[in-house]
Amino acid sequence: MSKLWGGRFTKETNKLVEEFTASIPFDQKLAKEDIAGSLAHVQMLGESGIIPEEDADKIRNGLLQIKDLVDQGEVEFLVEDEDIHMNIEKLLLQQIGPVGGKLHTGRSRNDQVATDMHLYLRTKTTELITLVEDVQNAIIGQAKVNIETLIPGYTHLQRAQPVSFAHHLMAYFWMFERDKERLIDSLKRINWLPLGAGALAGTTFPINRKRVAELLGFDTIYPNSMDAVSDRDFILEFLSIGSIIMTHISRLAEELVIWSSQEFQFVELDDSFCTGSSIMPQKKNPDVPELLRGKTGRTYGNLIGLLTVLKGLPLAYNKDLQEDKEGMFDTVETLEGSLKLLAPMIETMTVKKDVMRKAINNDYSNATDIADYLVTKGLPFREAHEVIGKIVLYAIQSGKFLLDLSFEEYQQFSPLFEDDIYNVLAPEHVVAVRNSFGGTSPVQVKQQIKLAEEKLLK
Ligand code: ARG
């Protein structure tokens, strides 16, 4: 059988052109969606009397048979049939004969392909929401058993103030919570139906777009046919949300790489999530978090790629738009793979509380608390800051930590010091008094985890 659009042509297509313009090597991923769209379209054609009901039935049966063949992996897609739409239409014609040719009535590949991608992203976005939640659950699991575990909190990667390890982990919960909100919100725009826009201007047939929307579960119909066939904002939005998710994953991955290094040793990743070196037998490499960090790059690339494809396109459909697919599939697959690994990696990692504790004991991250102490004794904060700066310098020069200085030494710097200063400096105390809403005190962290669990139940 020759090309479905072959009528106007006098020559065979150049083989290189065929290969260059074909999208079937990648858009075969849309087979299920393409058939679903066709099933709804043909049902509407039959119901509206645009084609006879019995023809619609034949087409429906043919499509269902093709669906089975596709599910069983028994279909051989052909480059000469260019894309998924024409491959399936060709199969239909082979299956049921010329009546199959009625399927494309009142429709174009332009509204068809857009519909396929809306359907695809709707399914994938819904699945990704669940995968994000799995990561959130893993975070909560570790947080719950580490509320009292203290870790240095950093700014500029310099020890700043001690924090609850649960608090540190939960910061990522909220990033993923916003990601989830973004994914959910994007469904509103994914749920716009392009089908029925025709090639660009609508169709002469009395189609019922509302019915198709109902059959395919869309709640909005594109009100402008030209916008419908050339809009890829919903994919841009997905790629952008995907990039933000990967940014969060990458930041957490970076922390896991740092924490599992010999220098930090705050956590140990489970053996089943690490790999070895082919030459250095002692090595246990954090390949998974490294790759999570590394794969973030391709998701940014996919976003920039599509933004660039779209920026100069005149209305309506242009073949450039075919370039929207591989990046989209790649980001979907990158997100799926990354989220699926991240959750169990967090669940199975060992938190080395004793090492974290040693780090806390051997630093000056309680300095702010002595400043606050002097403030409560009436000294203006700026002056207190200056005094404590001098104390820290003195302590460093004498090779001591703040808890090691004697009461006399404190008194030399300010007569306001009393012997309750030592209680103030204890790391537990330092953490417990940061009890403002959203702070790191155990009371606040417990409340935060409760709030997080409520979010997940919604
Ligand atoms: N394979 C095409 C794509 O992905 C389908 C639409 C083709 N439309 C056309 N007018 N050539 O964009």
Give the Å distance between the CA of 317 and the centre of ligand 1.
8
Of residues 22, 26, 42, 3, the one with CA closest to residue 195: 42
Element (H, E) at 396: helix 381-397
Phi, psi dihedral angles at 351 (to 5 degrees)? -95, 120
Q: For this structure, is 248 an active site residue?
A: no
pTM listed for this prediction: 0.95
**Which pLDDT value is given to residue 284?**
83
Tokens of 456: 């997940």
Give the Å distance between the CA of 300 and the centre of ligand 1.
25
Distance CA 136, CA 225 (A): 40
- Taking only the tens place, the pLDDT of each residue in 196-251 is 999 999 999 999 999 999 999 999 999 999 999 999 999 999 999 999 999 999 99
Region 368-384: mean pLDDT is 94
Centre a 10 Å sphere on the Cβ of residue 1 and count the other Cβ atoms it contains. Answer: 9
Q: Which residue has the tokens 């590394």?
A: 294
Confidence of residue 401 (pLDDT cuts 50, 70, 90): very high
Q: Is the pLDDT of residue 1 over 70?
A: no
Confidence of residue 10 (pLDDT cuts 50, 70, 90): confident
Measured between its terminal Cα atoms, the distance across the chain in Å is 54
6 burial type by CB count under 10 A (0-12 exposed, 13-18 middle, 19+ buried): exposed
Q: Is the pLDDT of residue 277 over 80?
A: no
Residue minimizing CA distance to atom 2 of ligand 1: 322
Region 65-87: mean pLDDT is 97
Amino acid at 122: R
**Which pLDDT value is given to residue 109?**
98
Average of per-residue pLDDT values in the chain: 96
Q: What's the per-residue H, E or C state across 354-417?
A: HHHHHHHHCCCCCHHHHHHHHHHCCCCHHHHHHHHHHHHHHHHHCCCCHHHCCHHHHHHHCCCC
Judge if the upstream peptide bond of residue 316 is cis by omega within 30 degrees of 0.
Answer: yes
Distance CA 258, CA 283 (A): 15
Marked catalytic residue, from 38, 85, 156, 278: 156
Distance CA 138, CA 143 (A): 9
Q: Is the pLDDT of residue 349 over 80?
A: yes
Amino acid at 277: S
Q: Is the pLDDT of residue 280 over 90?
A: no
Region 373-394: mean pLDDT is 95
- Taking only the tens place, the pLDDT of each residue in 421-433 is 999 999 999 999 9
**Which pLDDT value is given to residue 8?**
85
Angle at 356 between CA 352 and CA 360, to 5 degrees: 165
Q: Is the pLDDT of residue 179 over 90?
A: yes
Give the Å distance between the CA of 39 and the centre of ligand 1.
19
Q: For this structure, is 277 an active site residue?
A: yes
Region 72-82: mean pLDDT is 97
From its phi and psi, is residue 269 left (phi > 0), alpha (psi between -120 and 50) or beta? beta
Amino acid at 400: K
Distance CA 345, CA 138 (A): 9
**Which pLDDT value is given to residue 6?**
82
- Taking only the tens place, the pLDDT of each residue in 89-121 is 999 999 999 999 999 999 999 999 999 999 999
DSSP state of 275: B
Q: Name residue 193's beta-bridge partners.
A: 221
Residue minimizing CA distance to atom 10 of ligand 1: 110
Q: Is the pLDDT of residue 419 over 90?
A: no
Q: Name residue 350's beta-bridge partners.
A: 268
- Taking only the tens place, the pLDDT of each residue in 39-52 is 999 999 999 999 99
- CA torsion 376-381-386-387 (nearest 10°) is -10
**Which pLDDT value is given to residue 279?**
77
Q: Which residue has the tokens 């024409």?
A: 86
The interaxial angle of helices 109-144 and 442-457, nearest 10 deg, is 150
Angle at 287 between CA 285 and CA 290, to 5 degrees: 120
The residue to mutate among 5, 309, 322, 328, having the most atoms of ligand 1 within 8 angstroms of its beta carbon, is: 322
Ligand 1: list residues with CB < 6 Å: 23, 27, 83, 109-110, 113, 317, 319, 321-322
**Which pLDDT value is given to residue 4?**
83
Distance CA 48, CA 58 (A): 16
Confidence of residue 273 (pLDDT cuts 50, 70, 90): confident
DSSP string, 94-135: HHH-GGGGGTTTT--HHHHHHHHHHHHHHHHHHHHHHHHHHH
3-state secondary structure of 366: coil
Marked catalytic residue, from 225, 272, 277, 429: 277
